[in-house]
Structure 1
Amino acid sequence: MGCPEEASANASVDQNGTGSEEEQMDSSSSSAEAVLACLRCSKLARLQCPKCLELKLPRSNGAFCSQECFKAAWGSHKQVHTESRRAVIRADTPQDQISEALSRGWMYCLHKGEHRSGRAPNYDWTGSLRPYPISARRFVPDNVPRPEWASTGNATAEQYSEWQNSVEIKTPEQIQTMREACKIARDVLDAAARAVRPGVTTDELDEIVHEATIAAGAYPSPLNYHFFPKSCCTSVNEVICHGIPDARRLEDGDIVNIDVTVYYKGYHGDLNETYFVGEVDEASRQLVKTTYECLEKAIAIVKPGVRYREVGEVISRHASLAGLSVVKSYCGHGIGELFHCAPNIPHYSRNKAVGIMKAGQTFTIEPMINAGVWRDRMWPDGWTAVTADGKRSAQFEHTLLVTETGCEVLTARLPTSPAVFPWLTS
């Protein structure tokens, strides 16, 4: 999500509007330029209040078109900082965080994302994690091309496509566009990864993903896909996949998976990674590292002539050696003009996947590895899949292209990707 910066200038303002607290206006990212208006005059916002950035407030809270508007608005705008500090003090406990979110009109998500409620759902929770209220659906500018479900919530064309029953061989032109989409997805995920730390909410991570995707001229594929309410999935601790970003603050010792997919020029790019939040216990570190290795070992066998079912054998072998289990309810999938299509790529052993890999195919491999049993349960929101025993789960995903001699990892880590995995830097 890296963006060029404009020259900054001092904007000192006192209690009368001319000099009590020095702040330097930072340039907003191109994502803010694409979607935000100046708080004072409603012109296109090109600058961002640095104090708002420091406090990790939504970008819309501190957007201005110029130093002049920032200075003129300072007397009232600085109250936003005060209220933010008070909110952080109030939000010391989970109930405080929930109350704060509800006071802003946020609600709990229910029934596959189609319903909202001001009351927390009743459920036989398997672990310590609980759902929190979620914010309203984020805005996508009209000039951003979007998939059919952006307005309807339904993926009808995908459901009835011929590519649900046969595997498409992409043309060179299609492959090049997929490279572009996957590069955007990688940049977006890296931007979110840099923000992972104790105290950050998963809703804030979703905002970063959303703004970076829009800034790149892409649409966040999960948004309204079968009514999924957010622009990415954030799966914390015992959540296996499809966790919904909400008001919960990440805590020291958590692990969180961020799953990003973007829709660009008619094609999807899909990847995810699991990150450490602060100081994480050794068992969780080994779980995440082993899951990363499972994906790497699976990628290593991808080439023309290999059976899809062999991917699961490789992953299961490595996971079982570490005393871990492989989730069976979710699998890798074909991807391109469709978000999900053939082939299905199971990650567990002795699976029944039919077919062999051929050059020109694109699909994901995304093993979900559990510290305990492989079975999963579904939360009342209809999306969040959690481990049946409440133990932790980790996941990594790449979009791959089968080549004549092996494969190309279209969503591969870049030299600019954040160094968040110790085993890659040691």
Structure 2
Amino acid sequence: MKVLKTLNNAAAYAGQRLVARQHRKFINRHATELFHTPTGEAKYKVALYFADPMVNAYQIRQWYEPMKQLAKHVPVVIIARRPDSALALREECALPVHYAPTIEDVENLVNTQDLRLVFYVNQNIRNFQMMRFNTPDHVFISHGESEKAYMWSNQLKAYDYVFSAGQAARDRLAEHLHNYDAGHRTRLIGRPQIDVAYLAPYSINHSLPTVLYAPTWEGDRPSMNYGSLLSHGEKLVDSLIKDGGFNVIFRPHPRSGVNSAQYGQAVNRVKQKLDEANTTSAARLLFDDTTHWGWQWAQSDICITDISAVAYDFLATGKPMFVTTPVSDEATISDSPALSQVPALSAAQAVEIPALVRSALVDENTGFKEVVEYYFGDVTEGASMQRFIHESLSLVDGNLGIASPPSYRAA
């Protein structure tokens, strides 16, 4: 069996190499703009670095709009290290994309441009190939605020700065990272994604309340096993369908099933349940696999999610929500003001979700406002985007004492 597995892995690797060569040939012949290096005032000053395959594109997609707003002030480029990702990103993002497959290509980009700031959305090991350059400031922006152990990884010490959502993130780093000056190394920007108007791709029956169920994936190690789909999800969705009084938006994490076939199969089962019930239900029952994350916040009245970035994105809306309690004893759970204020949902309570949702929609959680401010700061319209642009330009200009941030009007 081990020999067969080794042979299968070798065949898959050979296939991937062949596809990569085909993509590179296509770029060399038909997408040469991916090698473009502007001159003069058009030289890139800010880069958004992405070394991953498109299965992880959800991590960079949420930064398209903030980067487009920043690009109104300074030239911004996306650096892609894989040919398939470079081709896909150039199709779906309005920002220029530069394909740099080798370290020599990265060096050429650095040497020909005026890069002063490089953003990173994850902890890909190839980030370090870019971080070897001393000139630009290297800034970790992550792909969402959460209480996952990932958010206080010791790897954050490698970056010059961390752009954090609010004081909660700064306090979290100060508590967990040794020999780290969180006060100096973090910049608080809020959540600029909430200052973007997203177009909803689906129609909703607005006469009924809408429940967003957005579980995270199964994780890649026991400490990150926060996903609720197997423990809560199917029972929860069955109960909502049977009740008939709620629209449902089911949005599984894009990586669902990557490490667990059983978890991926559960996604398919829930999709089938929703599709079948949607043909006769007055409610709108949606399986959401759209690439964009944001329109769901405006369309939903309440959210059910796991310990993940989704919880904190939705928290900023001030709408009610539930956070599932992991059934795994190995999942790392930290004490946090957010989790103490947001109602928890155990696996046993999943079948009771219609009654719990109705109660949550009429009850007032008086602690929400203080928690939102602690995690995101000022969330009035445009405030987060303004802080993001201000902190970015302060690093680009090398002047931390800019008197006032640039003006910004929500998109």
TM-score, normalisation: structure 1: 0.28
Q: Greater share of helix residues, 1 or 2?
A: 2
TM-score, normalisation: structure 2: 0.29
Q: Greater share of strand residues, 1 or 2?
A: 1
Greater relative contact order: 1 or 2 (C-alpha under 8 angstroms, separation 6 or more)? 2
